[in-house]
Amino acid sequence: MNKLNFAGFTITICLALSCKSFVITTLEADRFDQTLKQTPNPQLIDVRTPQEYSEGYLPGAVLMDIRAASFDSLMRTLDKTRPVFVYCRSGRRSLDAANILEKNKFEVVYNLDGGIIAWKNRGKVIVK
């Protein structure tokens, strides 16, 4: 193998080994709750508006309104190597947020299927 081919082969192998997969997992409320409880130091993010947040939120959730101009800067305060759990009212905005997190190389992102509505329907705890 000539030097040029060997160098190209080495670079290809290095790139392949350094690639990480970034995954969004959408979980129904019971599984989301269970996974959240089993995760050491989870990052739980509520991407609704401040008004929605004031009406009740999941215990330990931090508000990061996806529609606010501050969302990008707040997102950068999160640890990309720790799992991030996101939710909204119905699951649509949180999936948008999850996609943004994935594009920004967050390693593990969990999305609450059906949002806080599904959470409440399962009788889960809400903080007011």
DSSP string, 24-82: EEEE-HHHHHHHHHHSSS-EEEE-S-HHHHHT-B-TT-EE--TTSTTHHHHHTTS-TTS
The backbone region for 57, taken as left when phi is positive above 0, alpha when psi lies in -120 to 50, beta otherwise, is beta
Catalytic residues: 88
41 CB contacts (<8 Å, ≥6 apart)?
A: 82
- Give the chain's radius of gyration (CA, Å): 18
| φ, ψ for residue 11, nearest 5 deg | -65, -45
